[in-house]
A = this chain, B = another copy of it.
Amino acid sequence: MKLTVIGSTALDSIETPFGKKEEILGGSATYAALSASFFVPVSLISVVGKDFPRKYLNIFKKRNIDIEGLEIKDGRTFRWEARYQYDLSYAETLNTELNVFEGFRPVIPKKIDPKDNLLLANIDPELQSFIFHQIKPFGLVACDTMNLWIEHSKKALLRLLKKVDIFLLNDAEARQLSGEKNLLDAAKFIASRGARMIVIKKGEHGALFFSKGLRFMVPAYLLEKLSDPTGAGDTFAGGMLGYLSRSPKITDRVLRRALVYGSIMASFAVERFSATGLLKTKPEDVEERVKHFEKLTKF
């Protein structure tokens, strides 16, 4: 099954204790689409400005990502500038320029099949909701978010929960959204608002999965080197949804393995700045790391 990814495409300027890079390829949809493209054909729906470098467009094309839904608008591309200290779980935003993202409405190309799966990568929940005015999806709908929207658009986000099958967020966000300290309680709250399946991402500590019939925990892959955590969560979501989209049937076993694949894809992403980690990875590297991960966790 194909996967449609809707979210942001950005030029990021990132500083971590391991280096500093300017105007590199970023955005939630970028990471998610690149990650998912290891598993299934992906369509990217987003917006960039006329200044968006051609070499970045070529990256999508090289990975066979359909960019018909990537609008190229007059104006400058969305930019995000951030710094991480040694605690890589927290990004300090130094500057945000919405640019062409302001007033953007994601438009789904006619050729997208409503039966395809849909990943609403992290953007304003009002934009994520806009999709449902254009398409009545029959496939899985997954939705990722961030602290900013829980703070400023909580109502829209809670409304959206009723329409999604899989809701992804990190542990701090799960606590923020639910008001619960315990992650099990947080998951129950989120489930009570409509999401059928909930994935709580814990960064370097792995991820948790909750649904009515299944609870599952996966640690994160242990890395020798970590350069830039930007996009780890988006990459996780893309890998998980990519794996699910490749699977003919969503069983418990498939859900468990999808979480593992999400976690492994994220481990490649954070080894280098921007999308370089994903771009240098081959499908056989993914399989090898999944096997190693099995060895690391089996008991």
Contact = CB atoms under 8 A, between A and B. Distances in A.
Number of copies: 2
A227 to B, nearest CB: 12
A206 B205 contact: yes
A222 B226 contact: no
Given A257-B299, A259-B299, A184 B219 contact: no
A205 B200 CA distance: 13
Contacts of A183: 222
Contacts of A219: 205-206, 217-219
A224 B181 CA distance: 11
Nearest to A259: B299
A260 interface: yes
A217 B184 contact: no
Nearest to A257: B299
A217 B296 contact: yes
Nearest to A217: B219
B226 A182 contact: yes
Nearest to A226: B182
A81 to B, nearest CB: 23
Contacts of A222: 183-184, 208, 215, 217
A163 interface: no
A136 interface: no
A216 interface: yes
A194 B156 CA distance: 56
Given A86-B181, A253-B299, 12 more contacts: A182-B226, A184-B223, A184-B224, A205-B206, A206-B206, A206-B219, A216-B297, A216-B299, A217-B297, A219-B219, A257-B299, A294-B299
